[in-house]
Amino acid sequence: MIIRSTPDHPIRSSDITPEGVYHDRRTFIKEAGFAGIGLAATLAGARRASAQQGGTSIGGAELKGELTPEEDVTSYNNFYEFGTGKDDPKPNAKNFRTKPWSVKVEGMVAKPATYNLEDFLKPHKLEDRIYRHRCVEAWSMVIPWMGFPMADLIKRVQPLGSAKYIQFTTALDPQQMPGVRFPVLDWPYVEGLRLDEAMHPLTMMVVGVYGKMLPNQNGAPLRHIVPWKYGFKSCKSIVSIKFTDQMPATAWSVATPDEYGFYANVNPTVDHPRWTQARERRIGELRRRETLMFNGYTQVASLYSGMDLRKNF
């Protein structure tokens, strides 16, 4: 299934850097072992649909070009558990063990449980979505993620009427994650969303990229993506999902509250204290471009009707 995730201004073919491996799903199916849990057919169907359409869908436009190169996406990373340098996570996460993996769902839900990753994924059909990824350090990428809507997960566990927020927690393992041996943040890494943000059709639970399993440095084996927010809002290597009536105290908003607010919506009118957010550089390009409100996904604006987005940054 190819999902058209439609900003008001479709990405042009000229904005996309070629990446030849996007449609190769065989490696993903083999490595993930998904044939036994009914997802191989979904992946094959997505590949056929893409071939029939003659291109990759984004913003309602068929693209003849493709994406930010896979090498850049998988080697230029923010994942502080494996180091603070952009090139640290790839070598430092090389031997990170992601099998077996379980995710605890708890809090204000009718069906709390601890799920093995395979059981967690079993009811879901994987989808392709190409999203702009905007980092608070004023750089960006265009990335083909593979996963399923977060709303599907939420409906499955049946949040109570009192639940207003979802808190996500990243794995914490000093033996495997050298970065957590240093007090860069108050570990473990915690992020959160309002329930209506999490339910929005654009919000996604991710298990793959470029038609392959997520590399460790990109948040294997499970992460989430919220494309209208800065990248630090996307929790990687998730081990816990908690439904609550209280706004979660998130890792970066605790560490530097004057720099990283809870909402983290891409807003070019609100500068980071140490740099402007009005312009950004797409990885692989030299020129800078203007930053778009909500990263271009203006269909989410209604979620924040009546809010002061300079104060709620």
In whole angstroms, give the CA distance from residue 274 to residue 136: 11
Pairwise pLDDT comparison (33 vs 265), residue with the higher score: 265
Q: Is 72 in contact with 90 (CB distance < 8 Å)? A: no
> Which of 2-6, 87-91, 133-137, 185-189 has the weakest average pLDDT?
2-6
Domain presence at residue 22: yes
pLDDT, tens digit, 9 for 90 and up, residues 3-55:
445 444 444 444 444 455 455 555 555 555 554 444 444 444 444 433 333 33
For the chain, the average pLDDT equals: 85
pLDDT over threshold 50, residue 210: yes
3-state class (DSSP) for residue 252: helix
Please list the residues that pair with 132 across neighbouring strands. 142
Domain presence at residue 49: yes
* pTM, full prediction: 0.85
Domain presence at residue 70: yes
Structure tokens at 144: 């083909």
Kindly tell me the burial class for residue 274, based on how many C-beta atoms sit within 10 Å of its own C-beta (0-12, 13-18, 19 or more): exposed
Angle at 141 (CA atoms; ends 178, 233), nearest 5 degrees: 55
One DSSP character per residue, 187-215 reads SSPEEEEEHHHHHSTT-EEEEEETTEEPP
Pairwise pLDDT comparison (275 vs 176), residue with the higher score: 176
In whole angstroms, give the CA distance from residue 210 to residue 69: 10
Kindly tell me the burial class for residue 246, based on how many C-beta atoms sit within 10 Å of its own C-beta (0-12, 13-18, 19 or more): exposed
Domain presence at residue 1: no
Domain presence at residue 6: no
Q: Which CATH number goes with the domain that contains 197?
A: 3.90.420.10
Domain that holds residue 208: 13-304
Structure tokens at 310: 């300079």
Structure tokens at 214: 């997520």
Question: Which residues are within 8 A (CB) of 71 and not within 5 positions of it... i.e. 6 or more apart?
Answer: none
Domain presence at residue 68: yes
State how many domains the chain has: 1
